[in-house]
C-alpha cells in the first residue's frame, strides 16, 4: 500500500514568514510615507514679518512694530501662498526654506483680505530652483484624513499634524470678517501655522487660517477651501483685486409656514425673503423687498437659506454668489406675490460697506481731522476693534449698535468725535468721548469727506454739531483756527488732518 506523504513546514517557520511579510509591508508603507513627506516639506516655507499697524485711537501714529511668523507653500509661478493676516500691515517680509538657515527678502504680490489669502514671492535668483510647486486639489470628503504642514511657535523645524475634516460651511473669517466657505478640522493648529497648507495626496486642499478661540473648543481649526483659493488665484491674474461680488440685497430665512404662505409660496416651495435692496447695486430696479429668492444658478435654496454642495455638505446660499467673479452673470429665480420669474444680475464689485460701519481695512493710513482740539474720525471696524479682543463687550454701545444700520446715499458713513484734547477753545467738552456727529450747522452728514468739507468751508461764526438725539457741541470757528497750531504743538501732533483728506 503506497502512502503519499505531505510536506508541511513547521508552524514556527510559517509564523516567522508572516512576521517578515508584515514587517516588510510596514517598512514599505513607512518608506512611502516618508518619501511623500520629503516631497512636500521642501515646498513649505516659513515667513517672518515685521508689522506696523496704525493706531486708530491716535491715527497719526503707528502701534509698536511687532515681529511674527507664519507659514506658506510654493505654488506655480514662483509664488508662495499664505494668509493675508500673516503679511497685513507688514513693513518687512522674509522667507525661509526648510532646513536652510538663511532668510530671503520677500515681497507681497497680491492680497485678498476677504479670503485671508496672500501671494508673496522672492526675487533672489535661484530661490525657487530646488522647490517643487504644489498643485491645488479638490475639497476632501467629510471624515477624510488630512495633514497640516507649518511652523508653529515652540520650535524652528517643520511640524506635521494630522486630523479629520469634520465640517464644511460658511464661517466668519476672523481676519477681515468676511462670511465665506471654510473647512473645519481637528488637527492641532497654533500660532505660526497660519498660511500653511492642508495636504491630501500631495495636493493643497486648504490653507490654515485660524483656530477656534475663546477656550470653548480644543483642537478645532479652520482652513480656506480650494474653491476660495482658486477664486483668489484667478482674481490675481490681472494684478487687480476685485474681490468677491455682492448683488446688493439682504435676506432673512423663511422657516415659518405662515410667512411662506403670506409671501405666496406653496408648500413645496422654499427660499429666502428679500428685506433690503441697496441703491446703486445690481439688484436695484430688478428685485424688490418681499420678493422670495428660491434659486441661484442651479442651486435650490432651502427654507433655512442653505444650498446643497454635495450629498454631505450644506452651506449658506451666499456661496453660490461667491463662486462668481466680477463681471459675470448670476441667474436668480424669485417669487413675487406667488408668481415665479427668472432674471440675471451682473456680479459687481462690492461697495465699501452696506453698513454704516465700514469693514476692517489693512495696509491703509487712517483718516482723521482735528478741529477745535477735537479728534474726529470715521467709524469703522478698525476703530471698534481697537477696544481689544473683547471689543464686542468693551466698545461703546452706540458704536456697536451702528453696525446694524444700513447705509444709504444720504448717510454712507458715521463720523465720531473720538476724544477732546483739552484747550480753552473746547471748554465744557473736555470729558466728551465717542460722540457720533449727525449734523453740522443743520446739514446732515453723509460721510467723513462731506463732514470735513463742511468744517473747512464753514463761513459761520460758530460750528454747531448735533447728534441724532439733539445734543449739541458748539465751537467758535475763529478760535478753532487761531488755536490750531498751539494745540498741535502741545499734543505733539504732526498735522491737523490725515494726508490726502482734501485732495480731489
Active site residues: 85, 116, 194
Query: CB of 74 within 8 A of CB of 98?
Result: no
CA distances from 327 to 112, 178, 244, 344 (A): 18, 20, 11, 12
Do β-strands 369-371 and 66-75 pair in parallel, antiparallel, or remain unpaired?
unpaired
Secondary structure letter of residue 425 according to DSSP:
G
Q: State which H helix or E strand residue 109 sits in.
A: strand 104-112
Element (H, E) at 37: helix 11-41
d(CA 185, CA 60): 41
Question: Residue 64, exposed/middle/buried by CB under 10 A (0-12, 13-18, 19+)?
Answer: exposed
Q: Which residues pair with 425 in a beta bridge?
A: none
**CA dihedral of residues 104, 110, 113, 114 (deg, nearest 10):** -140
Q: Which residues contact 219 (CB under 8 A, 6 or more apart)?
A: 163, 186, 187, 188, 189
Q: SS3 for 54-94, per residue?
A: ECCCCCCCECCCEEEEEEEEEECCCEEEECHHHHCCEEEEE
Residues 6+ apart with CB under 8 A from 360: 113, 176, 177, 380, 381, 382, 385
Residue in the block written with cell 436695484: 284
Residues 317, 170: contact at Cβ < 8 Å? no
Residue pair 81/133 in contact (Cβ under 8 Å)? The answer is no
Cell numbers for 420: 477732546
| Measured distance CA(350)–CA(83) in Å, rounded | 21
Q: How many beta carbons lie within 10 A of that of residue 494, not counting itself? A: 8
Buried b (16+ CB within 10 A) or exposed e, 451-490: bbebbeebeeeebebbeeeeeebebbbebbeebbeebbee
Enter the C-alpha cell of residue 267.
408648500
Q: Is 161 in contact with 226 (CB distance < 8 Å)?
A: no
240 exposure class (CB count in 10 Å sphere: 0-12, 13-18, 19+): exposed
Amino acid at each position: 500500500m503506497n502512502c503519499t506523504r505531505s510536506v508541511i513546514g513547521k508552524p514556527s517557520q510559517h509564523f516567522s514568514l508572516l512576521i517578515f511579510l508584515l514587517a516588510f509591508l510596514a517598512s514599505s508603507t513607512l518608506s512611502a510615507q516618508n518619501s511623500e513627506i520629503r516631497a512636500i516639506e521642501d515646498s513649505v516655507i516659513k515667513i517672518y514679518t515685521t508689522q506696523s499697524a496704525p493706531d486708530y485711537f491716535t491715527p497719526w501714529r503707528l502701534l509698536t512694530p511687532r515681529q511674527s511668523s507664519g507659514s506658506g507653500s510654493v505654488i506655480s509661478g514662483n509664488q508662495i501662498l499664505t494668509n493675508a493676516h500673516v503679511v497685513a500691515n507688514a513693513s518687512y517680509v522674509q522667507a525661509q526654506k526648510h532646513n536652510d538657515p538663511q532668510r530671503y527678502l520677500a515681497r507681497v504680490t497680491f492680497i485678498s483680505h476677504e479670503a485671508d489669502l496672500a501671494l508673496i514671492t522672492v526675487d533672489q535668483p535661484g530661490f525657487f530652483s530646488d522647490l517643487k510647486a504644489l498643485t491645488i486639489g479638490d475639497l476632501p470628503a467629510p471624515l477624510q484624513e488630512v495633514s497640516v504642514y507649518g511652523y508653529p511657535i515652540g520650535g524652528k523645524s517643520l511640524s506635521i499634524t494630522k486630523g479629520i475634516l469634520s465640517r464644511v460651511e460658511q464661517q466668519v473669517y476672523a481676519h477681515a470678517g468676511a462670511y465665506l466657505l471654510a473647512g473645519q478640522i481637528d488637527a492641532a493648529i497654533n500660532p505660526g501655522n497660519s498660511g500653511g497648507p492642508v495636504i491630501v495626496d500631495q495636493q493643497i486642499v486648504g490653507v490654515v487660517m485660524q483656530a477656534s478661540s475663546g477656550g470653548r473648543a480644543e483642537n478645532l481649526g479652520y482652513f480656506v477651501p480650494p474653491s476660495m483659493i482658486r477664486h483668489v488665484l484667478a482674481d490675481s491674474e490681472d494684478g487687480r483685486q476685485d474681490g468677491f461680488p455682492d448683488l446688493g440685497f439682504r435676506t432673512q430665512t423663511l422657516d415659518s409656514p405662515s410667512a411662506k404662505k403670506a409671501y405666496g409660496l406653496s408648500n413645496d416651495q422654499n427660499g429666502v425673503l428679500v428685506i433690503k435692496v441697496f441703491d446703486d447695486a445690481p439688484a436695484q430696479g430688478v428685485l424688490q423687498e418681499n420678493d422670495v429668492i428660491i434659486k441661484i444658478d442651479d442651486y435650490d435654496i432651502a427654507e433655512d437659506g442653505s444650498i446643497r454642495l454635495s450629498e454631505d455638505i450644506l452651506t449658506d446660499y451666499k456661496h453660490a454668489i461667491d463662486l462668481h467673479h466680477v463681471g459675470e452673470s448670476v441667474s436668480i429665480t424669485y417669487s413675487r406675490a406667488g408668481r415665479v420669474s427668472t432674471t440675471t444680475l451682473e456680479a459687481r464689485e462690492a461697495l465699501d460697506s452696506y453698513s454704516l460701519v465700514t469693514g476692517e481695512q489693512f495696509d491703509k493710513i487712517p483718516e482723521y481731522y482735528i478741529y477745535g482740539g477735537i479728534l474726529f474720525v470715521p467709524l469703522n471696524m478698525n476703530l471698534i476693534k481697537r477696544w481689544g479682543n473683547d471689543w464686542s463687550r468693551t466698545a461703546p454701545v452706540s458704536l456697536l449698535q451702528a453696525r446694524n444700520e444700513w447705509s444709504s446715499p444720504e448717510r454712507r458713513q458715521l463720523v465720531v468725535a473720538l476724544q477732546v484734547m483739552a484747550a480753552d477753545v473746547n471748554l465744557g467738552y473736555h470729558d466728551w468721548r465717542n460722540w457720533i456727529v449727525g449734523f453740522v450747522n443743520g446739514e446732515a452728514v453723509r460721510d467723513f469727506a462731506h463732514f470735513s468739507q463742511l468744517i473747512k468751508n464753514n463761513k459761520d461764526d460758530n460750528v454747531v454739531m448735533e447728534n441724532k438725539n439733539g445734543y449739541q457741541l458748539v465751537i467758535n470757528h475763529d478760535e478753532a483756527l487761531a488755536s490750531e497750531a498751539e494745540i498741535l504743538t502741545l499734543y505733539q501732533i504732526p498735522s491737523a488732518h490725515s494726508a490726502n483728506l482734501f485732495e480731489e
